[in-house]
Structure 1
Amino acid sequence: MKHSATLLLLPGFALLAACGQTAELRPETGKQLPEAPYGREERLSAEELMETAPQAAPERSVELRRRSEEREDDPFDLPPE
């Protein structure tokens, strides 16, 4: 009996998990967006505040090796004492 009840609830949970908010972002009633940053006259919109700054998610700048290469001798690679 317990198994049949969980089987009936699973599609409902799947549908609930699939729904998402698609409305425009706005501050709660009675609250305002943060003040404008220094040097800017108008406040940022909610969408602009949600954008990730380049410092928070930098692009990968490491070039991956395409073939194996011999390592150069490292004078600081010393065995433990």
Structure 2
Amino acid sequence: MKRPIAFGLMLMLGGCGAAKELQPAEGASLPPPPYGAKATPTAAELLTPTTQQRPQRSDELLRSSEQRRSDEFDLPPN
């Protein structure tokens, strides 16, 4: 009996997400614009991650069998 109730609660909680765009609360405004910005960013712009927050991969994978160049800094310990 507990399992169907728990499953029903999980379904109800999963369906209560917001389906409309985010807006500031009544009487509140968006945060002030960043220093040097010409305009206040919108809510969608504030929620979009920048390249610093979500960087792209910067290393190139080895695509074919190539000899690696020697590493002159790979020295044995003293």
Name the TM-score, length of structure 1 as normaliser. Answer: 0.70
Deviation at 1:33, TM superposition (A): 0.7
Q: Secondary structure of the equivalent of 1:80?
A: coil
CA distance in 2, matches of 1:68, 1:52: 36
| Letter in structure 2 aligned against 1:63 | E
1:51 aligns with 2:33: no
Q: Secondary structure of the equivalent of 1:8?
A: helix
5+ residue gaps, structure 1:
none
The aligned residue for residue 73 of structure 1 is: 70
CA distance in 1, matches of 2:52, 2:59: 16
CA distance in 2, matches of 1:31, 1:44: 15
5+ residue gaps, structure 2:
none
- Counterpart selection for 1:33 from 24, 30, 50: 30
Give the RMSD, CA atoms, in angstroms: 2.1
| Letter in structure 2 aligned against 1:52 | P
Moved more, 54-63 or 70-79: 54-63
CA distance in 1, matches of 2:77, 2:8: 58
Name the TM-score, length of structure 2 as normaliser. Answer: 0.72
**What is the identity percentage for the equivalent residue pairs of Structure 1 and Structure 2?**
38
